[in-house]
Amino acid sequence: GNESQVHWYGIVIDNREGQKKVLYLDSGSYSLSSMRERCLNHLDILNDYRDFLRSTGRIEVDVFTYTEQTHTFVDGQSNTQQNGYDCGVYALKNVEEYIFDRPYQITVCHSAMKIWRCKIIANLLKFAEDTGIIVVCRN
């Protein structure tokens, strides 16, 4: 997510059985009420998108509404950034750690930001190459 076009945070909507939750990952300062508001906002976006898909008929989408009752809101307790510009890296790394089932195994810290930026680019490039989105020429 992006708050007021100045701060990035991560949201994971986990639909696995027994895991149904909205995980909030924010390296900045925030209140639990702002966390809840942002989680609700992202559920609204997801519900609107699902409604759009159903209305176009191009893809079959079950009739289900994501709510605070269907998915628990969880504070992911991200590491805190030490400046005003690394939030995007924290957001991406925290989401990546959760998706690959290694939550917080690797500490995202300010001193390693250049490394994390390069790693994110390398991972995206590898994925794009593996899926055929791009072709990398090697000599």
Confidence band, pLDDT 50/70/90 cuts, at residue 25: very high
Quick: pLDDT tens for 103-131. Answer: 555 566 677 778 888 888 888 788 778 87
Give pTM, 2 decimals.
0.77
Mean pLDDT (whole number) for 15-30: 90
Quick: pLDDT tens for 57-95. Answer: 877 878 889 999 999 999 988 888 888 888 888 888 888
DSSP-assigned letters across all residues of 81-139: PSSSS-HHHHHHHHHHHHHTT-TTSS---GGGHHHHHHHHHHHHHHHHHHTTSS-----
Element (H, E) at 24: strand 21-25
pLDDT > 80? residue 22: yes
How far, CA to CA in Å, does 24 sit from each of 46, 102, 134?
15, 16, 32
d(CA 47, CA 42): 9
pLDDT > 60? residue 139: no
Hey, CA dihedral for 28, 33, 37, 42, is it positive or negative? Answer: positive
